[in-house]
Amino acid sequence: MKVYLDNAATTPMDPLVFEAMVPVLKDGFGNPSSTHFFGRKIRSLIERARKNVAKHLNCTPGEIFFTSGGTEADNMAIQCAVRDLGVRHIVTSTIEHHAVGHTVEKLKAEGLVELTYVHLDENGHVDLQHLDQILSTCPKTLVSLMHANNEVGNLLPLERVSEICEKHGAIFHSDTVQTMAHYRFDMKVIDKVHFLTCSAHKFHGPKGIGFLYVNKDIQINPLIHGGSQERNMRGGTENVYGIVGLSKAMDVAFENLIAHKEYVIELKSYMIERLNSSIEGVAYNADCNNLARSLYTVLSVSLPPTDIAPMLLFNMDIMGVACSGGSACTSGANAGSHVLAGIEAPVDRPTIRFSFSRFNTKEEIDYAVDCLAELYS
């Protein structure tokens, strides 16, 4: 049996998405910047996709900029905010994805910004009082805090954070790569958020495509210079197949969002129950077994100390279960995770992250738990 429980790293493409992309892959070869028929036909696909994405987010198409994925979108938001919006101070956390963490560290190393890390509480949640306190003393600040953590699943109250940022005139960027198309975003409601990011391969779309949402109140210049694509905001011939796939993946996700969410929550709760009754001393990192305050697709399991800790992931892989030790970069090697260090997870307890999608089944969960229990027997 082969079981894929690493959906926070990437998800399998939905067949409906694949079908939507095929005609474009076969016949949609025109360059969208060409003014002749072949180009115009493809340009219209891009603009239709942009409108569709904007409809799902309840924003305007002009606020959506397609990128090569989440990493580029995070980079664009942060680097352009510093360069174009007079930001001299960034507030972030120690558990951000490297797309954010390494970007802000680079800006600090170049002497362009001061960096402050907001405190996390005992469950790994951002301490909002501390955030409020930091912002009350710092002008021209960018706050970059992820909506859901990709390793331990903690959720940030986006609206509340956006209100705190607004109170102090800070710009707010949230890495929503793990939550886009897993939750509804209504940009007319969370209208104080300035930047959001998306990556299609996290919700059964293709890899190498995503977008940056830029609130209409914010004016930035391109990060990637070249042609006049994306209304002069990102040079480079557009990834048309990807854009069409991303748009379709959003349609499929939002059409049955509640049903998919309930189904996956059921899988996650089932796995918690099965683990609790199969492995003595099992625990959960941060707040990921708190269903109300964690991303429903992620379960970060803290296992009892064992001599075979370095071999756990390898053995699970041999038994046919794909899971991860932390972020995707550490899959297959139980390398140290800055997130687990950031939440001060006990170093003697190995972590396995299981992450789910609507394509998983209870039988797969049973199999994965049985394999892990066997390793612990």
Ligand X SMILES: Cc1ncc(COP(=O)(O)O)c(C=O)c1O
Q: Which residues are catalytic?
A: 329
Select from 69, 101, 205, 222 the one that contacts ligand X (CB under 6 A): 69
Answer yes or no whether residue 99 interacts with ligand X by CB under 6 A: yes
Select from 64, 177, 233, 240 the one that contacts ligand X (CB under 6 A): 177
- Reduced to 3 states (helix: H, G, I; strand: E, B; else coil), residue 210 is strand
Pairing of strands 321-322, 283-284: unpaired
Q: How far is the CB of 293 from ligand X (least distance, A)?
A: 17
Smaller CB separation from ligand X, 246 or 372: 246
> What track of x and - describes contact with ligand X for positions 202 through 231 (by CB under 6 A)?
--------x---------------------
Smaller CB separation from ligand X, 202 or 349: 202
Q: How far is the CB of 348 from ligand X (least distance, A)?
A: 27
C-alpha distances (whole Å) from 177 to each of 19, 333, 372 are 24, 23, 29
Pairing of strands 298-302, 321-322: unpaired
Instruction: Read off the DSSP letter of residue 8.
Output: T
Smaller CB separation from ligand X, 148 or 275: 148
Which of 179, 241, 174, 236 is closest to 209 using CA atoms?
241
Answer yes or no whether residue 151 interacts with ligand X by CB under 6 A: no
Which of 80, 79, 141 is closest to 106 using CA atoms?
79
Q: How far is the CB of 126 from ligand X (least distance, A)?
A: 15
Q: In what order do the strands lie in the sheet with 210-214?
A: 64-67, 210-214, 195-199, 171-174, 141-144, 89-92, 114-117
Answer yes or no whether residue 158 interacts with ligand X by CB under 6 A: no
Span from 68-76, 188-196, 348-356, 362-370 in contact with ligand X (CB under 6 A): 68-76
Answer yes or no whether residue 175 interacts with ligand X by CB under 6 A: yes
173 close to 81: Cβ distance less than 8 angstroms: yes
Span from 23-31, 124-132, 170-178, 343-351 in contact with ligand X (CB under 6 A): 170-178
Smaller CB separation from ligand X, 253 or 371: 253
Select from 146, 155, 339, 365 the one that contacts ligand X (CB under 6 A): 146
- Reduced to 3 states (helix: H, G, I; strand: E, B; else coil), residue 93 is coil
Which of 180, 168, 157, 90 is closest to 292 using CA atoms?
157
Select from 103, 199, 289, 294 the one that contacts ligand X (CB under 6 A): 199
Pairing of strands 3-4, 321-322: parallel
195 close to 213: Cβ distance less than 8 angstroms: yes
Answer yes or no whether residue 150 interacts with ligand X by CB under 6 A: yes
Q: How far apart are CA 259 and CA 212, in angstroms?
A: 27
Q: Which of residues 343-372 bind ligand X (CB under 6 A)?
A: none
Answer yes or no whether residue 93 interacts with ligand X by CB under 6 A: no
Q: How far is the CB of 323 from ligand X (least distance, A)?
A: 15
Smaller CB separation from ligand X, 282 or 298: 298
Select from 71, 239, 351, 355 the one that contacts ligand X (CB under 6 A): 71
Size of site (CB under 6 A) for ligand X: 14
Q: How far apart are CA 241 and CA 238, in angstroms?
A: 9
367 close to 42: Cβ distance less than 8 angstroms: no
List of residues contacting ligand X (CB under 6 A): 69-71, 74, 97, 99, 146, 150, 175, 177-178, 199, 210, 328
